[in-house]
Structure 1
Amino acid sequence: MRVLLALGGNAMTNAEGRARVEDQVAAAGVAMEAVADLIAEGFDVVVTHGNGPQVGNLLVKNEVAAAVVPPVPLDWCGAQTQATLGFVLMNALEASLARRHLDRRTATVVTRARVAADDEGFRTPSKPIGRFLPADEAHLLVEHGETWQDRGEKGWRRVVASPEPLEILDAPAVRALVEAGFVVVANGGGGIPVVRAEDGSVHGVEAVIDKDLGAALLAETVEAEVLVIGTDVSHAVLRFGQPDAENVETVTVSELRALAAEGHFASGSMGPKVEAACRFVEAGGSRAVITDLPNLVAAVTSPPGQGVGTLVVPD
């Protein structure tokens, strides 16, 4: 059975959200222990990941150096963090596999995701990224072509497009490596956003793709049977934060979509994960699971309906 595991970007930081090198290496070690356990159980695993904290670090470097060197564009930031996190995850996974005396090769594919040049997000950028800055520092970055908005007392913040991923351009390479026995890390951060020109060439664009929606598309494209969305809670939750909060256990796609329509899942956190799970199962996946790392192996290996986490199944 092939499993696509989507790790949140915060899975690569420490409990307080710090993303120092040592924090990321330690967090990768924890995450890859769970992946090694799945491999030991006989699963093929493809790993994808968020990169928000890591891109955030690069954006700070852009801002600090903007008066000296031009800022690195977001597509370059995505490529850099895909390669760096892939390197860290491969090292951690190979160490975990060695402790289990398992001989599996690893690979990272720097992966592009095609988006539409006329996506609505490019006309009205709305996804905030990075930190707040005072007006004079933000204006310097505006001169470099970035879009910043005045957010009142907090200062100015950059906004970018978050277009819909349409195609994972490098999925054939991922599939070939998986079929050759590699454990592959791919499509980090939802994929590097690119558009295709009329002559067939592609070029990167300043945008951020939702990593969960990118994970669902990658899972479908590489013919995974199960999509696991790893997050920092064990379940999607109804009435989150309220006294009558309730875990969502086993649920059909139509039931989950109805709950989402009632407003149970925040757009900036659980909402994209729920949408990704629904899309994957609607596209033919056998099931999707939303859970945390400690429950990852049980969520995948237990019989449907008897594991841990929110299990999404076909209608």
Structure 2
Amino acid sequence: MSTPTAVVAMGGHAFMQPGQRGTYAESTQNARRICAELMQLVERGYNLVLTHGNGPQVGDLLEQVERSRERVPAQPLDALVAQTEGSLGYLLQRALLNELRARSLRRYVVTVVTQVIVDAEDPAFATPTKPVGPAMTQAVAEQRAAQWGWEIGQDGQRGWRRVVPSPRPVKVIQRHMIREAALAGHLVIAAGGGGVPCVKEPESGDYVGIEAVIDKDLTSSVLATDVGADLLVILTAVDGVYLDFGGPNERRLGAVTMAECRRYIDAGHFPKGSMGPKVEAIYGFLERGGRRGLITDAEHLREALEGQAGTHFVGRI
């Protein structure tokens, strides 16, 4: 039998625990901690493709851009996404290599700066909604909108922020090399921050970066299909998917079929800003032929892989 492949998606907040500032030392320690948990998949015989978010980190870079704009040339958002793919990929790559070495496992680790095609006609470009960068007062936000052409919006109690489009991923450009590296037994880190969003110029066919943010779970779902993954794991801040989360009838879902998942989605159980994209990502993967999906947190990964924790999604039954 061929070696199965698992795609694991983790959030950018995995690098920063509650109460931390996100220093380099903290991020290094947290990367090592989560990579130690991921070794369970390697030891179970999976080829591993790891994706990650970058929300806090790209927000910090955007703030640095704003504070130094008068002295250092500003970089566009797509370039900053690529920077976080490299910097966070480096932390994970180093941590994975050290965990492999500690277990005397001879595997290589590679980080791929990943470009993702989006549709230039995606409705998200007409109505930007994804907050990025630091919060500010309404007056400052309006000044920057007038000066730099920003779209702005209020982000709850945090204040006003720049908002950018969040188009759906269409195709991962580096999908073939990611698949081949994984099938060769290497651990691959890819699609950081959802990948660098690109469109194709109609006349030249050139790939052009665009200032947007792609949901990393949706990109992970597309990538899992592209690499022929058997398992898509989404690691989040809670141990599974809940109905009536935080309410009097809160209940964790154990095993969920596609039909049940569809009913829960249609009933509005999963908010768009939190669990919604994660469940949608798993559902899309299964709908395109994937075999199994899992949502849990890193602390319960071992129990979840043994069927004793997490929320499991299975294909057509």
TM-score in terms of structure 2 length? 0.93
| Counterpart among 90, 94, 115 of residue 91 in structure 1 | 94
Match in the other structure for 2:67: 64
- Separation of aligned partners in 2, 1:158 and 1:2: 38
Q: CA-to-partner distance for each residue in 1:169-215, whole Å, 9 max, x for gaps? A: 01111112123321000011111100011221111001000011011
1:189 partnered with 2:209: no
**Residue number in structure 2 paired with 1:270:** 275
Match of 2:110, SS state, is: strand
Note the C-alpha offset of 1:141: 5.7
8 Å contact 1:10–1:17 — kept in the other structure? no
Contact 2:110–2:186 (8 Å) recurs in 1: yes
**Which stretch shows the higher mean deviation, 231-240 or 9-18?**
9-18
Alignment of 1:127-276 (within 5 A): 127-135=130-138, 137-138=140-141, 139-140=143-144, 142-149=146-153, 155-198=159-202, 199-276=204-281
Indicate the residue corresponding to 1:28 in structure 2: 31
* Inter-partner Cα distance in structure 2 for 1:117 and 1:254: 32
Question: What's the TM-score, normalizing by structure 1?
Answer: 0.94
One of 42, 51, 70 as aligned partner of 2:54: 51
Distance 1:148 1:70, change over 3 A: farther
CA distance in 1, matches of 2:180, 2:26: 32
Alignment match, 1:73: 76
| Residue 203 to residue 25, structure 1, CA distance change in 2 (3 Å) | same
2:300 corresponds to which of 290, 295, 299: 295
* Shift of residue 297, structure 1, vs aligned partner: 3.1
Structure 1 stretches of 4+ with a deviation exceeding 6 A read none
Q: 1:313, CA displacement in angstroms?
A: 0.8
Is there any run of 5+ residues in structure 1 with no aligned partner, and where?
Answer: none
Structure 2's unaligned 5+ residue stretches are none
Going from structure 1 to structure 2, the CA distance change for 1:144 and 1:2 (only over 3 Å counts) comes to same
Q: Percent identity?
A: 41
Cα distance in 2, alignment partners of residues 43 and 153 from structure 1:
43
Would you say 1:15 and 2:18 are equivalent positions? yes
Match of 1:103 in 2: 106
Instruction: Number of aligned residue pairs: give it.
Output: 311
1:36-62 CA-partner distances (Å, limit 9, x unpaired) = 222122111110001101101111112
C-alpha displacement at 1:142, in angstroms?
A: 4.4
| 1:109-128 mapped onto 2 (5 Å cutoff) | 109-128=112-131
Cα 1:242–1:158 change in 2 (3 A) is same
